[in-house]
Each structure stands twice: as C-alpha cells, then as structure tokens.
Structure 1
Amino acid sequence: MTAAATPAPATPPSTRPEDLPLHEDVRRLAATLGRVIRRLEGEEAYETVETIRRASRARRRGDPDAPALEALLARVEALPLPLAALTARAFTLFFLLINTAEQVHRVRRRDAYRGQDVAPQPASARWAMQQLRAQGRTADEVRDAIAGLDVRPVLTAHPTESTRRTLLSLQARVADVLLRREHASADEQRALDDALEGEVELLWLTAEVRRDRPSVLDEVSTVLWYLETRLLDAGARTHDVLVRAFEEEFDTTAESLRLQSPVRIGTWVGGDRDGNPFVTPEVTLAAARRASHVILGRYRQALDGLIERVSIAAHLAAPDPALVASFDADRAALPDVWEANRRRNADEPVRLKLTFIAARIDATRRRVAARDAGRPDVEPAAYADAAAFERDLLLVRASLLAAGATEACRTAFDPFLALVRAHGFHGFLMDVRDHADVHKAALDDVAERLGLGPMDGHALRRELLGRRPLVGSHVPMEDATRRAFDTLRAVRTVQDEAGEAAARTYVISMTTGPEDLLRVLLLAREAGLVDLAADPPVSRIDVVPLFETLADLEAAPDVLRALLADEVYARQLAARGRRQEVMLGYSDSGKDAGILASSWALYRGQDALAAVCRDAGVELRLFHGRGGSVGRGGGSPVARALAALPPDTVEGRVKITEQGEIISQQFGLAPIAERTLEVTVAGTLLQAFDDWRQGVDPATPARFAAVMESLSERSLRVYRELVHEDAALFQLFLQATPVAELAAARFGSRPAYRPGAGAGITGIRAIPWQFGWTQIRLMLPGWLGVGTALEEASATPEGLATLREMTRVWPFFDDLLAKIEMVCAKADLEVARAYVARLGADIGLLDRLEAEFARTVAAVLRIRQTDELLADTPVLRAAIALRNPYVDPLSLLQIALLRRRWEEGTPEDDAAVGEALSATLSGLAQGLRNTG
C-alpha cells in the first residue's frame, strides 16, 4: 500500500462564530512571535520560518501550486543547522502560544455560559444537579452522594513532560493579557499588546527545555507550584460551586457539606521508586516536608485575611467561653504574642485567638523547614498535629456563630476549615510505589543472612502474626535491601511529622499474588507501621496491588479473592476499616495487548474486582493509572471517561493519575483547573446514579460482552503477532522514531527502560513506547489490531447493526470508539512514511501497518455512519486542522535532524543537533497533545 492510498484527513470544518475570538488570538500571537523573531534574530531567520509556515499551510489547504511533502522535506534538509534549530524553536514556541490561546478560549466559553441566562454548561455542577433532579432523585439522595464523594487526582512525574515551570508562569501571564484585552478600551488594548510582545520576547529568550536533567526535587517543586497556585484554589472553588448548585437546585441548605471538601490531591513525585533510582528515602522525606511547608504557608496567608476581617467586639457579642479559656495555654506558649496584642485586641478576643493561631502556624512551619534542612526542630509553640490546629479553628467558628455572624462564618470561615480538613498538614497525599521484586529480593536477602530458610507464604504469615524483630542494626544486608527497609521507615517518619494521611498508601508494581502484599506488610512492621499480632490489629498503611499486564489483569479477581480470604490479611483489613484499594495499570496493559484487548480487560477486571469486594463486605477504591494518550488509557473528555466506567465500581470514589503534558493542559490556568475539577466531581456524582443497563433488555449486556470478547481476542492476535512475536516492528520503532533521543532530552528524571528488563519490547516503558509512535504521527498503539477486529465483526448486516447499537447504548464502547477515532484523525501516514523511508526502516512492514490503519478508519466510519472522522465533534476537528500546518514543519525538521545525527553526525555538531532535536520533541508533544 502506498502513501497515496492512505485515508485522507478530515475536511476542516468551517469556523463557528463563537470560535472567531480563538482564531483572532492565534493570529495575534503568531504575528507577535514573528515580530520578535525578526527583531531579535534578523530578516533571514524570520523569512525562513515564514516561508516554511506558508508552504505548509498551502499544502494542507490543497493549493494547486503548493509543494508536496517530499519537496518540503528537501527544503528543510537544506537548512544550515543554526537555522534549522531556530526554526524548530519557533514552531515549538508557537505551539505553546496556541495551547495558551485554546485554554483562554475554554475560559471564554465557560464564562459565556455563566454570564448568560441560558442552560448551564454541559458537565458542570449545575448541569449535573439538573440532570439528577430530572431523574427524580431526592435532595436526601443527592446530599448523601455528595457527602460520600472522594475525588483524588494524583500528579506524577513523567519523562515526556516538557513544559518547564518557568514557561507555565509565562503562559499564565499571556493568558491574562488575552483575557483582559477583550473588555479593554482602545488605549488599554495598545498597552496590553505591548505587554504581550514583552512576554513573547521573554518566551523567545527562555530555554523551553532544561539544559540539565531535572532532579526529583525539581519535579517536586513543579507539582508544588500546581498545588500552591492552582489546585488549592480550584478545589475550594469546585467545592463551593457544587454545594451552591445543590442548595439552589434542590431548594435546601447543606451546612455539613460546606465543611468537607470532596477534592484531595495526591502525588507520586518523590514517592514513586519503581524504576527510578533517584527516588531515595531521603528524597521522599524532603518531598513530604516541602509539601507540608507549602500548605502551612497557605494557611498562614488565609489567617492573615481572617485577622484583618474578623473584628467582633466582645462588648457587642460575647465570645464562646471555651475560646476565652484557651488563652491560658496560648499565653504560656507565646508570651511575646500576648504582650504585643493583648491591649490592642482586648475587646476583640476572636481576632486575638486568630493571631495566636497564626503564630502557632508560623512555629509549625519553622519546625518543618528545620527538619528539611537537617537542623534542630525545637518549636514548643508549634501544633502537634492538624487535629490540634482544627480544634483551635472550631473555637473561632463557635464564637462566630454565637455572635450571630452566620453568613460571615459560612462565606469567610467555613471554606478555610474545609481546606484544612481536606489537606491537613500534608498538602499532598503521597503514594509510595516500588516493584514487587524489590520486596521479595530484600526479604530473601535477610532470610538468607539469618538462616531462616525461604521466605515463602507460610513464613511471611508466621512472621506477621508474631512480634519478633526481623532485622536490627547489626544485621548486614545488601544496599538495595537496606533501601527497601529505609523506604518504609521514611513513610513512618512522614506520618509522624505530618499525619497518617501524608503517606499512607504503598503501591506494589507487578503484583501477581497475595504474598506480594504480605511482604510489604512485613517490611512495614519492621518500620513500626504495622502490628497484626496486636488485639485489635494495628496498621497505618494501605497496601495496594497494581495489576498491569494483560495476564495480571485477568488474574486480578482471583488474586484479590485469595487475599480477602487470607486469615492474616483479614487482620490488615480489620485495621484499615475493611477498605481495600486496587490500582489498574492502563499503560503496560496497553503496551502488552493493544487498545481493544487492554480496554476490555480493564473493564472486565473492574467489574469483577467490585463483585469480589461486595461479596466479602469490603469497600473497594479503584485507582486508575491512566496516561495522557489513548494507548495508555487517556484521550477522553473527563465526563465521558467517567460515564464509560462500569456501573457500581466507582460509588463516589475516584482516584486517577494525571501525567505529563496533561497536567499543564488540565491545570495550567486557574480557570481551567477549576473547570477540570468541577467536571470531575460532577461526573463522579452522576456516575454513582447512572447505569446504562437500566432500560435495555436484560440479555443485552451479556450479548455486548460476547461481542467485545470476540473483538478483544481477534485484535490481540494481530497485535501480539506484530509487536511481541516478531522483532521487526520494534526494530522499525528504534530506527524510525526518536525514542533514543528522548533519553537525552532532559524532560524528566525517570529512565525510559525498566532496570534489568532488557532493551526490547518487554523492557521499554509504556510511556516512551507511546511517545515514539506519536512523534512520527503513526499513533500505532491507539489502533493496531482494531481494524481487523472491527472489519470482521461488521462484515455481516447483523454484526454491523450490533456494533452500531453498542455505540449508541453502551458508554464504554462509544468512548472506546471515540478515542480510536480521535487517534486516527491525528495520525498522518504520509508523514510517518517519510520518517520510515528517510531513516532507512522497513517500508514493507509499514505497508502492512498502513493497511491495518485503513481498515480501522473504514470500520469506524461505517459504524459511525459518516464519511469523515470526528464529524460529530467539530471543535476537535477544527483544532487538529488548525494545528497540522504547524506540526508538519516540526516533523520534517525532526526527520532532517535525525538523519544528520545518525548519518552525518560529527562531534562538533552533536550537541547542537541534540538541542534542536529536543526542541522538536517538545514542539510535537505541544502540538499533538495526548502524547505520553
């Protein structure tokens, strides 16, 4: 099959009137960047970029005199290296500006809904409440469901995330200028245009990719930036919007809901040790302490605002007696604060109490900073824990209510109390993760040195039911073994300093059996976190199996059933309130089995795991380890992804990883962060009530499942044959994609290959596997195996009718098909062929892949009953059409630079080529999105 026979891209839709401001912003940003390049780099640089841009646009528009892709590539290959590098930077930074413009437009559309007397924005909290009311749900039902909500985005580090923290701040300033410009006068607009050019100037002079690989603590600083500047405010705003929507739509009050936020923020950064040798126990401690320092600083700022506002006079409203009684302890702990404020605040006891609270938070923050710096942490006035802080806040709240300041309490104080209850002294809920083999090797090492015999299941259970210490300082052990023990000791320290919630979850990668969890419990017992021999048993840690490969997902229900039936583990469950978390790995299962088979295995696994827990009387929380790309479980709008989860598996509890460039897309601007969390909370609430099986024939779910089983089996055979059973595809991957350059791009701290797993398909991590195929625009993990399976299933009228019915009725299948459709729309096989041909990879194999891609597109269009991909999502289709003319130059530059490095490289050029390649990697990630 030749490139000419590949499916044509969708026709760009006409611009909707409401999207004209977006196109105007893009033109303004492009013109501003052009002026900056011309002024700072000269006319030749400007003309080079403009010539390539115009030619690429002309080709995409189909202009009769436009150059073919081959001619464009020849033109790019002829560029001197300095001009090629400069052009790569220009298009990379243009995408950063386009992404900013699109985020601004999302804010604009959200505000349009809020500012008009129209129906609420779909997927918003108000919209969700109206849906529930229309379904006949009662206020009590909805109130109880809201009270049970627990939504946890978990931020992770990522070796394909390329947006520096410096650029995130710059993007936010550009967005602010664009938003302010809309309602400014002519004079103000000119001033704002000058400010915009200044920001773009700084953007051009700022390196978009770090010159050194970021350390784990650099990554910690980045996620703390999101926590401090975006997520705390967005979570509080989401909480307020949700409660207001409930109260107004159901005509009731819900004071209890105002004191408990449904959103808590998790992190793996600093805790995820699996395959990352730079995450040490010391780093874990430092990450937790810095998060604590940030959240305490936020509390201090809020207290300043309360001290300024809360000026209740005692002679007008008597304070609560308990508040007055608390001054004795405050005076003893903080005599200087008492002396400085007792006269000024003599008639304002609530303000005085807030002043004492602020001083205690200062002391607590100094204690955290001292610990992080390794200094003595003697601060007698510091709070012992978040509970002590909350008790003081409740004294203030009681006095506000006693004074009759009910509305002030509700609007000014209760949101702060809810913030404290959600984030404690920890800020982030840190998960710790390591590989099951690490724990086994550590205990085997200790057992061998102590002459205990094999540390099998029987030995593990015996040790857990006893209290004899397994190791002491005198026992020699391997460095890796000591690190495994020290990791759990670090968890104990984090909990002792910031509370159990700070680090109570331990995730076990590649779990295959109950013993994998028992080993972690034994390590935790040695750290003083677990005592299952006590009566009642004690445990301060949740051990979470992570099922990743297709085989592991299929075995997961049996593993969990055996675990819940285990007499020793039953004591762990009792200590943890009969709650069990299970993590599902979308990434490795996708790499292992392909999109269809892995998606179905994940769906079936969730359903079966929920049933196992229901039968055992255990509360299940599923942790979805999604990536940003379709091949790693992402690619869906949040509301649609939640609706596609199996019924009765969420029940108000959602925990989902947020990775790579998805973090900046979802949380980079404050209003977008608010919208993301609002949609997630509203979608989780709706998912608790919705069940697609209601209203269909009782036999329908089983009939659909049988079709999915067949699709899964057929697609798996195609995927496994090409990916796992023949080395040719992986060889093409290494030759035709820039995956080798990713390791040198300094995007993140994590290596691209699992340690000791080899350099083949089994050893490479799912993230770079997906990233490499996306860079060359083939998007292979998102469709390989799909075309054959769907083509065969739709070969008969009955089969086609069933697939159409599944799309119409079953949210899971509709979401799956939509993700595959989006991937196919973003793919460009002519560009992919240029990579393969120019870089000397296997063209014959590419022909086979193109045939499968064509089958996929044809089947999707047939099922959707349309002639164009994304026909019913014009916004996404327009976004792809807007981006493609600017993505193409980056692809061509990347091909040219890879050829230069691999075929013509000289030591003198190598560093410069590497820098330019890093720019293309970053630019394509920015331009294509959903990359990792």
Structure 2
Amino acid sequence: MMAIQKQKNTQPSKFYKELQFIYEVMVEMLEELSPEVMEHFLNLRSELLEKKKSEEKIHSILKKIALSNKTLETIKAFSLYNILLNIIEERHNFDGKNAFFALESACAELLDEGFEKEDIHKILSEMQFYPVFTAHPTESRRRTFLEAHHEISDDLSKIFELDDQGAKEHIKYRLMLLWKSHLVRSEKLEVLFELDNLLYIVESSIIKSAQNILNFIEKILQKPLEKSPITLGSWIGGDRDGNPFVTNEVMTRVMRVQHQLIIEIYLQKIKKLIRELSISADFVPISEELQRSLEKEKTELEENSLKLYSREPFRAKLYLMSKKLKNRLIAVNTPNNIEFTYKYPKELIDDIDLLINNLDCVSSKYLNEFRNLVLLGGFHLMRLDFRQHRDIFLNAVSEIFCLLGISDSDFGEFTEEKKIQILDAALEKPKIELNAIIDKVSKSTQEILEAFLRINWAKKHISEDIMRSLIVSMTTQASDLLCVLWFAKQSDLWRPGHNLQEKKSAKINITPLFETIDDLQRAKDIIKILSKNKHYSNYLHDNQMTQEIMIGYSDSSKDGGIFTSNYSLYQAIFELIKLGDELGIKFILFHGRGGSVSRGGGKLESALLASPPKSVCGLLKTTEQGEVISSKYLDPKIAQFSLSNTIGALLKKSAYDSFCSDSTVNIKTNRNICYINTTQWKMMQKISETSYQAYRKFVYETDGFMTYFNLATPIKFIQQLNLGSRPSKRKESPKVEDLRAIPWVFAWTQNRSIIPAWYGVGSGLESIENQEALQECYKNSEFFKTTIDNISQVLLKVDIHIAGLYNKFVKDENIHDKIWSMIINEHDKTMKFILNVRQEKELLENEPKLRDSILLRKPYITALNLLQIELIEKYNQCEDEVQKNKLIEEVHSTIVGIAQGMRNTG
C-alpha cells in the first residue's frame, strides 16, 4: 500500500485519492518501460517507509542501484514522483476556493474592525503590488517540465472534477515524454532563454490572473480604475551584477521583445472585439465625440473598413485602434516619423473609454476588461530594473573624471569626504555629451555609458515605464549614489529642476541595495548625508521627494545568520521610516526576497503583517524568484489565488499603516499589529547579538570551515549545473563573502542540514533567562512569531542523520569532528528552544497539515540523498573521465530531484 496510508494525516481525502491515482499511473508506466527500475523504486521506497529501518538492507539496495545501468532512471523515478506530489499539493492548497476569497475577507475584516468603507476603497484604489520576477537560478526545472506541470494539473482537474477519462491518457502521455527527457539542461541557460521561460508563465497565466484581479477590484470600487493596483517587474536582461552575459544588446532585445509581446496581445484582443462588436448605429446612436474622432481618422481606414464607417462605428474605431498599434511596432524601429500611432498608453485608454461611454454596462464588459489589461501592461509589459555593482559605477566615474581632468585615476581610493567634494564639483558643471567621449574610454566604461544612453532611448521610443529603478548593489556609502546621479544627469535621465514648482524631471529611481548587516545598520546615516547634499536634494525634489531603497535578505543572512538578518532588516526599515518622517521623504522599500526561508522566503502575507509600522502604506515591491514563480504563478487558478492573498494582506497592512498609532492593538487577535514594545525590542536585540556571535564564530572564524563546506556539501556539482545564466560567484575566491547566497543556501539544503536557516538561533534564544517572556513575545509580536514559525518549518526539513552521512567526504578528522560537533550542539539547542517558544512537543505539532506535507516527502528525498552520496563516493574514487562525466550527470539529476522534494533550491 502507499506510504500515505501508513502515516497519520490531516490532509483531505481528495488529496490522497489523487496521490494514489498518480502513484498507480507512475508505477504502471515503470512496469511497462523498465521492470528493473520499478523494482529499485519500490524496494528502496518500501524500506525507507519502515519505522525500524535496516541500514544494512538500505545499503544493499543502494549498491544494487549504483552497480546497475539504471541508476539515472531510478533517480528520475523518485524525482518525478516529487514533482507530481508538488502538483497535487498546489492544487489542494487552492482546492477550488473562491479565488477572490482573501481580498473579500480583507475588506470584510477591516469593516468589522471599524474602518470606514470609503477609507478602505481609497486605499484599494491607490495601493500597488509590484512583483519583480528575477532570473535567479533557483528554478531547477526545464521549460519542458514547467509546461508538463501546467498540463498535468489541468488533467487532474478534469479527471477528479469532470470525470474525464481522456485526461488520464494525456497524463500518461505527458509522463512518458518526461520520462524520456533529461531532468537537467545539457546547455548553459542564456538570458533570452530565461526570458522565454518567464514570458511563457506571464502570457499563459499571470496576465489573465492579474487582469481578473483588476476586474474584481473595479467591481468592489464600482468605478473605473485610474491605475493598475498590480505592476509587473522583471530583472531578466537588466540584472548585470556579476553576470557578464547581460549586455546592452541583450537589455535592448529584452525591452523590444516585451514591447512586441504586449502589443500583439492587444491586437489579438481587438481582433476578437471587432468580430463581436458588430453594433449598428441604427440601434445605438453614437456621441458627437466618437463621431468627430471617426471623421478625423477615417482617411486611415482601408476600403473594406471604410464601408463600416457609417454603419458599424464601433468596428471602424477598433480597426483604427488596431492600425495605430501596428504602426507603433513599426515606429520603434524606424528613424522616420510615424504619424498615425499611439505614443502613450493613455491615448489607447482614451480610445477605449470613447467606445465604453457609448455602450451600456453589459455590451461594454469586454472593452472594460481590455481597458484594465492596458492599465496593467502599458506598452512595456514588465518594468525592467537595471542592477549593477557599486564598483562598476565607481571605476567608470574614476576613468571619466581622469579623462576630463576633474580628478586623478585613483578617485576610488580617496576618502569619502573627498569623493563627495569632487562629485559635487562635477555635478555643478554643465552636462557633457556622452557620445563625444565614448570612444576615449575602456570597454567596461563604454558599456556603462552606452547602458545609460540605451535606457534613455528606450524610455523615449518604447515606454517611459520600461525602466524606472537603477539599483546599486553593495552600496556602502553616499558617494556610490552620487556617482550614479552624475551619469543620470549626463544621459538626460535627470534634468535638475531649480524649485518645487517645476515639472518632475527625474526619470529614474536611484536605488541603493543594502545587503550586509553593517550596511543595513548604516542605511539611515547614508540617506541622511544624501538628503543634505545640494545635488541629491535637488534630485529628490525632482523625484517628488521619493527615495527607493532595496533591502537584501540573502546576503544579510549569509553575513550574520537568519535571526540577525531578520532583526536588522526590521530595525533598518523602522529607522528609515522615522527618518523619512523627519526629512519629508517617502521611502519606497524594495524587498529582495528569495524562495528559501534563509533568503527571506516564507509566507509573504505573514511577512507583510509582521513588517514595521508605516513601512508599507499601500506599496509592496518584492522580488519573486526561481521556483517561487512557478509555484505561485504557473497555474492561472493558483496565480489568481496568490495575487488575491497578497493584495488582501497588502490592503489590511496599508489600512493599519494609515490609521493605527504605535500603540494600537488589533481587537480581534489581541496582537500588536504595528508595534514592538521596549521590553520585547531589548529581548530581541539580545537574541540577535548572541545569535550573530554564534553564527560568525561558526562560519567566519572556525578554521577549516570552507574546506568542510566544499567537501560535506555537493557545492562543486551545483556550480556545474546549468540552472541560470549567472555565475555562482561574483569573483573567483575561496571566501564565503564572494560566494553568492543562492549556491550557499542550495548546497546546505542539498545535504539536509540547511545551516543558513537556523544556525545561531538556539544560542540566541538560550541567552534569554526568562523563557516565559519569550512565549509571551511569540503570542503578542507578529514579527517574532513569523520569524520563529519560518525557522520551525525549516527545522522539520532538516535531517541531521542524512547530513551526518556527508561527513565521510571530509577526510581531515580534526575539521570533521570540530565542525560536526558545533552543528549537532547548535541544532539540539535550536530544537529545544524553538519547541519551548512554540509550546510544542514536536515540530509543527500545532500545524498538522503543514507537518504532514513536509513529512510526506521525506522518504522520497531521503532516497535521492542516499543515491547522491553513493554517486559522489564513486565519483571521488573514479579516474576514468568518461565514467566521471556520466556520474556528474547522475549527481546533477539527484540535485534536481532533491530540490523538487524540498520545494526550493536556494
């Protein structure tokens, strides 16, 4: 019988029916294709499900698999099962609930809590959810598997909701194709392939789901939307930090592709409307305004369309709208002036409104939906962010200033005070013509100059909204942003205004990214310095006194551990909001979250409500990375449900931010929704400090740590994987600091210790003598509760026994014994105090559905871990290059399979 029947569970019976069905289909396929693989799969699975496992028997089965020529197929069997389990779980997390339930509930709860309907509607009409889809290499599946995921989910709906037996055959077909496909890409993923993967999800799911949310919000407000409450963003083609494959040519290509796709989507919508709106002027008299518009533009109609002019005015106008959009695709590429076209999305919306105003609400239903689609997509589809490391800007400025005689070439080595003095003098000078110096500088500086020129071109010719944020990675001081401001001035992305009455002339947000614990703590001081700088102060005025700041969850966690990262982020945001009130600056906070808990993952809705007071106020901009994109947005129903959940939580948090004082307590939950009191703050500060010390001692001060990391995790195999276009390191270096956060977390997740998500937390909690005070803090502080809950989920995914098996690859006994004993001691301590804080006897005892979900995967992940260990051992002993390459492919397949079972990579 199935594993699920051996476990005590709380999942609905429908879940297990589907799981039983998919298991039987898979075993049936294995029996047909390879009885030997089926035997391996069933034997290993069966033994791992036993309460009293026989290590000897498991080892014997593993040896048999490793010695067979069916190792890769056996790995694929376990990996496919993990993928199928994820599909079923995603379906049942949604489980046919009203897709707008969370948004409806948020409105109802706020009314119940005493908020006025008008205030709720005002917030809803002005707020903005801004997901930014990144190309970070945390999606371990190929597009083939993404598409199959989508279709199998649909097939399960047809089978269990519509009793469509034809869908069963389609599932078999899809599984058969996947079985015959490689789990791992054989080629390096290029940037444009990353774009292709994202656009598949955007076009097949996100656009329609987001449009449905806009339609629903419009229904709540009972008036047309003035702007979209959802803004789609992307880093693909704009994120250059450490990625040499993102060039100016690639960036421009990405912007053109996005523009073309959204225009083509509009043309398809118009084509459908032309077929439908065969309305005659005999039955629907049209307004003088529409009549004048048609009269003015009728010469642009072709002969056949011209016949419709007097009889079917709606079709005639739609033909004209279609021609303007087609001309727009031409206008982007030609230096000639194209007259009959749309320059701005507002012009298209005005034409749609002209038609809507001549129709009743039933007849104009799909025109209204088209209008909301244009509000969502504009002429850019997704707003691209430009991100580059501070050193690149600094080096370019240094070279140019030397060329122009403003400074010497050692500008980057000057004190901060002297840098600002030189930058101020440079910013006082009239703007220079960048094209005049572009052939007089090095190739790397040419790239930066050309990037600014291309951004300006795209904003003029594609859309003003095609790019807004210019992110400076690893910002450490105020001069980093003044360097970017100098480039912005020279490229006309900032035209300095001289008083508050002048029209806004800042076309970009200069956005510092604060990533390390130290940088987060100094963020407030850096912004304060900039606000007093004459030129940056002018830029702020020209940017309507708004300053975007990106805060990094990944590197702060790698730098100081999970608790200190969360605490420092909270504190930095809290201090920035206070500073904003003092200086009259509105901060736009951009949350650089990853998929895993140690990189800011976890439930976004909980994180929102746990954020500091007045830190949201109607706007949430956050990254959506890797496997999170597919799990939340690949299926249109789930995408709609996810968007509703997030916007519902954003509405609640925005209401609290707008109307709650620091001491407000939510009557319903009796939990402080906006405030952490002084006692709690001091307690968490002590936890953070102690946790930080324990983490830093382990990762940065323990001799042999990197040797242990490189041997006791499959990091060297991960670095060879073709998951994304970006290298795993910013630069070649043996230091932890220079390893990217994703492979850092990925490697520890693979060996099942998941160190970044909990190490140091036990020491931090132990430092508090009054454990009852911790329990009270957990009950009353949303921030502390969310942090502890996320850590407890990860702890259940940890398998310390499996992690211990990887120790055999560390041959130095001193390093092995010392580091492993530190891991064991801190793990035991963290388990003890997390259970105490949550008042549980076993992890997630109070959340049985979530507990079951994690434990259900355990035997299948364990099988892959054991196979991975066996294969790495063979690889280490192998001297034949052909055999080693085969073993690398098999290890890579286990990595993908484990990632699917763990539900995240890095």
TM-score by length of 1: 0.90
What is aligned with 2:8?
Answer: 14
Q: What is the distance in 1 between the residues matched to 2:405 and 2:530?
A: 28
Q: What is the distance in 1 between the residues matched to 2:144 and 2:339?
A: 38
What is aligned with 1:425?
Answer: 379
Q: What is the distance in 2 between the residues matched to 1:217 and 1:667?
A: 20
Q: What is the distance in 2 between the residues matched to 1:239 and 1:20?
A: 34
What is aligned with 2:147?
Answer: 169
1:607-646 counterparts in 2 under 5 A? 607-635=574-602, 637-646=603-612
Q: Residues 840, 875 of structure 1: CA spacing in aligned structure 2 closer, same or farther, 3 A cutoff?
A: farther
CA contact under 8 A between 1:638 and 1:679: conserved in structure 2? no
CA contact under 8 A between 1:753 and 1:759: conserved in structure 2? no
What is aligned with 1:544?
Answer: 511
1:844-855 counterparts in 2 under 5 A? 844-855=818-829
What is aligned with 2:775?
Answer: 804
What is aligned with 1:437?
Answer: 391
Residue 255 of structure 1: SS of its match in structure 2? Answer: coil
State whether structure 2 residue 357 is matched by structure 1 residue 391.
Answer: no
Aligned partner of 2:18 among 14, 25, 29: 25
State whether structure 2 residue 859 is matched by structure 1 residue 893.
Answer: no
Q: What is the distance in 2 between the residues matched to 1:54 and 1:303?
A: 57
Q: What is the distance in 1 between the residues matched to 2:693 and 2:800?
A: 23
CA contact under 8 A between 2:686 and 2:767: conserved in structure 1? no
Q: Residues 422, 868 of structure 1: CA spacing in aligned structure 2 closer, same or farther, 3 A cutoff?
A: same
1:758-907 counterparts in 2 under 5 A? 758-793=733-768, 796=769, 799-838=770-809, 840=811, 842-907=816-881
What is aligned with 1:452?
Answer: 406
Q: What is the distance in 1 between the residues matched to 2:367 and 2:69?
A: 57
Aligned partner of 1:235 among 210, 214, 232: 210
State whether structure 2 residue 298 is matched by structure 1 residue 331.
Answer: yes
Structure 1, gaps ≥5 residues long: 1-10, 115-119, 248-252
State whether structure 2 residue 214 is matched by structure 1 residue 220.
Answer: no
Q: Residues 328, 461 of structure 1: CA spacing in aligned structure 2 closer, same or farther, 3 A cutoff?
A: farther
Query: Residue 866 of structure 1 aligns to which amino acid in structure 2?
Result: E
What is aligned with 1:117?
Answer: none
Query: Residue 596 of structure 1 aligns to which amino acid in structure 2?
Result: F
Q: Residues 194, 801 of structure 1: CA spacing in aligned structure 2 closer, same or farther, 3 A cutoff?
A: same
Displaced runs of 4 or more, over 6 A: 375-378, 696-700
Q: What is the distance in 1 between the residues matched to 2:277 and 2:809?
A: 70
CA contact under 8 A between 1:506 and 1:543: conserved in structure 2? yes
Q: What is the distance in 2 between the residues matched to 1:328 and 1:82?
A: 75
Q: What is the distance in 1 between the residues matched to 2:346 and 2:423?
A: 36
State whether structure 2 residue 565 is matched by structure 1 residue 598.
Answer: yes
CA contact under 8 A between 2:301 and 2:320: conserved in structure 1? no
Residue 538 of structure 1: SS of its match in structure 2? Answer: coil
Q: What is the distance in 1 between the residues matched to 2:378 and 2:881?
A: 53
1:915-926 counterparts in 2 under 5 A? 915-926=889-900
1:218-367 counterparts in 2 under 5 A? 218-244=193-219, 247=220, 254-256=222-224, 258-332=225-299, 334-336=300-302, 339-344=303-308, 346-367=310-331
Query: Residue 57 of structure 1 aligns to which amino acid in structure 2?
Result: L
Q: What is the distance in 1 between the residues matched to 2:859 and 2:377?
A: 45
Give 1:472 deviation, angstroms. Answer: 4.2
Query: Residue 570 of structure 1 aligns to which amino acid in structure 2?
Result: S
Query: Residue 28 of structure 1 aligns to which amino acid in structure 2?
Result: F
Structure 2, gaps ≥5 residues long: 412-418, 666-670
CA contact under 8 A between 1:542 and 1:581: conserved in structure 2? yes
CA contact under 8 A between 2:301 and 2:319: conserved in structure 1? no
Return 904-913 or 662-671, whichever deviates more. 904-913
Residue 590 of structure 2: SS of its match in structure 1? Answer: strand
Q: Residues 700, 433 of structure 1: CA spacing in aligned structure 2 closer, same or farther, 3 A cutoff?
A: closer
CA contact under 8 A between 2:698 and 2:822: conserved in structure 1? no
1:700-779 counterparts in 2 under 5 A? 701-755=677-731, 758-779=733-754
Give 1:381 deviation, angstroms. Answer: 3.9
1:362-511 counterparts in 2 under 5 A? 362-367=326-331, 371=333, 381-400=340-359, 405-409=360-364, 411-454=365-408, 456-469=419-432, 471-474=434-437, 475-511=439-475
Residue 565 of structure 2: SS of its match in structure 1? Answer: helix
Q: What is the distance in 1 between the residues matched to 2:819 and 2:564?
A: 22
Q: What is the distance in 2 between the residues matched to 1:567 and 1:837?
A: 60
Residue 767 of structure 2: SS of its match in structure 1? Answer: helix
What is aligned with 1:250?
Answer: none
Query: Residue 650 of structure 1 aligns to which amino acid in structure 2?
Result: V
Residue 183 of structure 1: SS of its match in structure 2? Answer: helix
Q: What is the distance in 1 between the residues matched to 2:217 and 2:31?
A: 49
Residue 871 of structure 1: SS of its match in structure 2? Answer: coil
Aligned length: 876
CA contact under 8 A between 2:379 and 2:463: conserved in structure 1? yes
What is aligned with 1:82?
Answer: 69
TM-score by length of 2: 0.93
Give 1:259 deviation, angstroms. Answer: 4.6
What is aligned with 2:127?
Answer: 149
State whether structure 2 residue 97 is matched by structure 1 residue 103.
Answer: no
Give 1:126 deviation, angstroms. Answer: 1.2
Q: What is the distance in 2 between the residues matched to 1:631 and 1:44?
A: 39
CA contact under 8 A between 1:76 and 1:84: conserved in structure 2? no
Query: Residue 739 of structure 1 aligns to which amino acid in structure 2?
Result: I
Q: What is the distance in 2 between the residues matched to 1:377 and 1:44?
A: 67
What is aligned with 1:6?
Answer: none
Q: What is the distance in 1 between the residues matched to 2:693 and 2:474?
A: 23
Per-residue deviation, residues 77-120 of structure 1 (Å, max 9, x unmatched)? 44226322111111112111111111122232525xx7xxxxx9
Residue 110 of structure 1: SS of its match in structure 2? Answer: coil
CA contact under 8 A between 1:446 and 1:471: conserved in structure 2? no
What is aligned with 1:5?
Answer: none
Per-residue deviation, residues 827-872 of structure 1 (Å, max 9, x unmatched)? 0000000111255461441122111001101101111111010011
Aligned partner of 1:649 among 615, 618, 623: 615
Q: Residues 478, 71 of structure 1: CA spacing in aligned structure 2 closer, same or farther, 3 A cutoff?
A: farther
Residue 647 of structure 2: SS of its match in structure 1? Answer: helix
CA contact under 8 A between 1:12 and 1:877: conserved in structure 2? no
Query: Residue 760 of structure 2 aligns to which amino acid in structure 1?
Result: G
What is aligned with 1:52?
Answer: 44
Q: What is the distance in 1 between the residues matched to 2:561 and 2:713?
A: 19
Identity, % of aligned pairs? 29
CA contact under 8 A between 1:837 and 1:843: conserved in structure 2? no
CA contact under 8 A between 1:45 and 1:83: conserved in structure 2? yes
Q: Residues 366, 181 of structure 1: CA spacing in aligned structure 2 closer, same or farther, 3 A cutoff?
A: farther
Query: Residue 668 of structure 1 aligns to which amino acid in structure 2?
Result: L
Give 1:638 deviation, angstroms. Answer: 2.3
Per-residue deviation, residues 626-646 of structure 1 (Å, max 9, x unmatched)? 1111111112x2221111111
Q: What is the distance in 2 between the residues matched to 1:678 and 1:461?
A: 47
CA contact under 8 A between 2:82 and 2:897: conserved in structure 1? yes
State whether structure 2 residue 161 is matched by structure 1 residue 183.
Answer: yes
Query: Residue 223 of structure 2 aligns to which amino acid in structure 1?
Result: E
Give 1:461 deviation, angstroms. Answer: 2.0
Q: What is the distance in 2 between the residues matched to 1:259 and 1:450?
A: 47
What is aligned with 2:668?
Answer: none
Query: Residue 897 of structure 1 aligns to which amino acid in structure 2?
Result: L
Per-residue deviation, residues 426-462 of structure 1 (Å, max 9, x unmatched)? 0001100001110000010112233321452122222
Q: What is the distance in 1 between the residues matched to 2:675 and 2:119?
A: 29
Give 1:565 deviation, angstroms. Answer: 2.2
Give 1:898 deviation, angstroms. Answer: 1.4
CA contact under 8 A between 1:587 and 1:626: conserved in structure 2? yes
Query: Residue 714 of structure 1 aligns to which amino acid in structure 2?
Result: T
Q: What is the distance in 1 between the residues matched to 2:217 and 2:423?
A: 47
What is aligned with 2:416?
Answer: none
